[in-house]
């Protein structure tokens, strides 16, 4: 979001400096050196409806790198792995009765056809799913997934959020309801690096490992910022860091805004990436609906081929917990052992010796909580400070975190910035 906003501002003739806290840009779309290959810290995939992302690929000359692949998913339920996600698999899904299978499918089809979410904002997801898919489908399929991600917040989640998830994935199913997902050759790293190059080529300066330490405010204006021990003047500031971080570096922000900025919760993610010598399953995505200490398994090389990673398999396994939760900070060797035990239960015959390397990544602000009536609780993009606008992942709601939606939010944020700067100049 920040890099996209920077490039647009540069093309409008502004002088732009980008301050990035990490060693490399990218945020949740960042990558790392995994032995002799580059891999993403957190898995990404593209859906047919990610049109803003596709426009950016055209803009950056990356469209020829876009690839599509038929993928499959499964559900681990009752100690068994069940194919899921297409009509034939649904008809054979034994954890549901025949009538519930039909009702579940019709509800997903109805959600796919719905194009607006406003009417669902004030409806709890639980009520919407119970009414549409029925009690059995909610208990077997939906409730375990919601509780894994939102825990005690599950019953407050808005139906608009779960509709958005269903609708986005449905945009990648063809007329035969077969799922096709996309990826970029070179991964998200190729997109981030090209965007960084475009910003630099336009004269933008990117400071990595340079978190903003303080924003200087006076008379409801930002005068500048302090980063890495140096002061920088500024005519305006576009913030894309978590709002709770913004409150730390701008302690003089008015109390009303401060309260609204942290009104919506945010859940962290702990994600382990395994590199293995051979494939594990034929599925891209496995939802874990039994009581295991993982949310799922994402065999990423069933989307982006193993040839991209030296012929080896990449498997991601996330766990969503608040950053204050002890399991968020579990030692890496414990995370590995826990994950391998789960994989062995999900895939009988799994051979641990096929795992050649692993990494564990943590992100404290990975999943915004989307309760009913969330739009009335969102902090405005224009802050009470005249030349400061701010957005983070909560402003993506009810949509989930995707690169495409982040790029779209950058456009909204810049609209607020132009308006704020125009009024500030009056």
Per-residue pLDDT, 424: 59
Q: What is the DSSP string of 149-182?
A: HHGGGGGGBBHHHHHHHHHHHHTTB-TT--BEEE
- Tell me if 35 is assigned to some domain: no
Q: Under a CB-based contact definition with an 8 Å cutoff, are residues 342 and 295 in contact? A: no
Mean pLDDT rounded to a whole number for the chain: 94
Q: What pLDDT was estimated at residue 422?
A: 81
Question: Which 3 state secondary structure label does DSSP give 367?
Answer: strand
Number of structural domains in the chain: 3
Question: Is there a contact between 189 and 40 (Cβ–Cβ < 8 Å)?
Answer: yes
> Do 218 and 346 fall into the same domain?
no
CATH of the domain at 94: 1.10.3110
- Residue 373, class by beta-carbon neighbours within 10 Å (0-12 exposed, 13-18 middle, 19+ buried)? exposed
Q: Is the pLDDT score of 175 beyond 60?
A: no
141 and 165 both lie in a single domain = yes
Residues 342, 414: one domain? Answer: no
Range of the domain at 403: 211-261+378-426
The pLDDT assigned to 106 comes to 94
- Reply yes or no on whether the pLDDT at 17 is more than 60: yes
pLDDT at 94: 96
How far is 303 from 183, CA to CA, in rounded Å?
A: 7
On whether both 250 and 308 belong to a single domain, the answer is no
Banded pLDDT at 87 (limits 50, 70, 90): confident
In a domain, 101, yes or no: yes
pLDDT of amino acid 228: 86
Kindly report the length of the chain.
426
Domain assignment present for 319: yes
Cβ contact 309:301 at 8 Å:
yes
CA 173-175-176 angle, to 5 degrees, is: 85
Q: Are residues 250 and 309 in the same domain?
A: no
Domain contains 284: yes
3-state DSSP assignment of residue 23: coil
State pLDDT tens for residues 313-360: 999 999 999 999 999 999 999 999 999 999 999 999 999 999 999 999
Q: Are 304 and 164 in the same domain?
A: no
**Quick check: is 183 in a domain?**
no
Q: Dump pLDDT digits (tens) for 212-260.
A: 999 999 999 999 999 988 999 999 999 999 999 999 999 999 999 999 9
pLDDT tens for each residue of 108-160: 999 989 999 999 999 999 999 999 999 999 999 999 999 999 988 999 999 99
In degrees and rounded to multiples of 5, residue 260 shows phi and psi of -70, -35
Is 193 among the domain residues? no
Q: Indicate if the pLDDT at residue 269 is higher than 70.
A: yes
């Amino acid at each position: 979001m920040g890099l996209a906003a920077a490039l647009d501002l540069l093309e409008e003739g502004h002088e732009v400096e980008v301050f990035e806290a990490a060693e490399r840009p990218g945020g949740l779309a960042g990558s790392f050196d995994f032995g002799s290959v580059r891999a993403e810290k957190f898995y990404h995939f593209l859906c047919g409806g990610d049109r803003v992302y596709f426009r950016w690929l055209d803009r950056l000359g990356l469209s020829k790198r876009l690839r599509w692949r038929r993928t499959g998913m499964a559900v681990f339920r009752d100690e068994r792995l069940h194919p899921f996600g297409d009509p034939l698999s649904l008809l054979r899904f034994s954890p549901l009765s025949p009538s519930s299978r039909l009702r579940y499918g019709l509800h997903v089809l109805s959600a796919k056809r719905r194009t607006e979410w406003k009417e669902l904002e004030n409806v709890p997801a639980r009520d919407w799913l119970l009414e549409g898919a029925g009690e059995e489908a909610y208990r077997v399929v939906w409730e375990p997934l919601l509780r894994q991600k939102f825990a005690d917040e599950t019953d407050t989640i808005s139906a608009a959020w779960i509709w958005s998830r269903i609708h986005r994935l449905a945009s990648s199913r063809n007329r035969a309801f077969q799922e096709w997902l996309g990826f970029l050759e070179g991964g998200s790293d190729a997109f981030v690096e090209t965007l960084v190059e475009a910003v630099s080529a336009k004269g933008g300066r990117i400071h990595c490992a340079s978190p903003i330490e303080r924003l200087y405010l006076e008379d409801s204006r930002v005068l500048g910022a302090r980063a890495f021990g140096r002061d920088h003047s500024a005519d305006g500031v576009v913030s894309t860091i978590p709002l709770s971080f913004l409150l730390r570096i701008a302690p003089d922000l008015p109390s009303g805004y401060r309260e609204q900025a942290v009104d919506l919760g945010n859940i962290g993610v702990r994600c382990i990436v395994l590199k293995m010598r051979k494939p594990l399953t034929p599925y891209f995505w496995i939802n874990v609906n039994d009581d295991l200490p993982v949310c799922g398994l994402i065999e990423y090389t069933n989307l982006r081929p193993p040839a991209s990673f030296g012929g080896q398999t990449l498997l991601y396994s996330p766990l969503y917990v608040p950053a204050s939760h002890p399991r968020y900070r579990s030692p890496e060797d414990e995370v590995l052992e826990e994950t391998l035990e789960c994989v062995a239960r999900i895939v009988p015959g799994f051979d641990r010796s096929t795992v050649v390397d692993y990494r564990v990544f943590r992100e404290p602000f990975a999943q915004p909580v989307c309760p009913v009536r969330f739009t009335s609780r969102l902090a405005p993009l224009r802050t009470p400070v005249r030349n400061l606008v701010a957005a983070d992942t909560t402003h993506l709601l009810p949509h989930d975190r995707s690169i495409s939606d982040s790029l779209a939010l950058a456009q909204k944020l810049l609209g607020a910035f132009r308006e704020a700067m125009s009024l500030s100049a009056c």
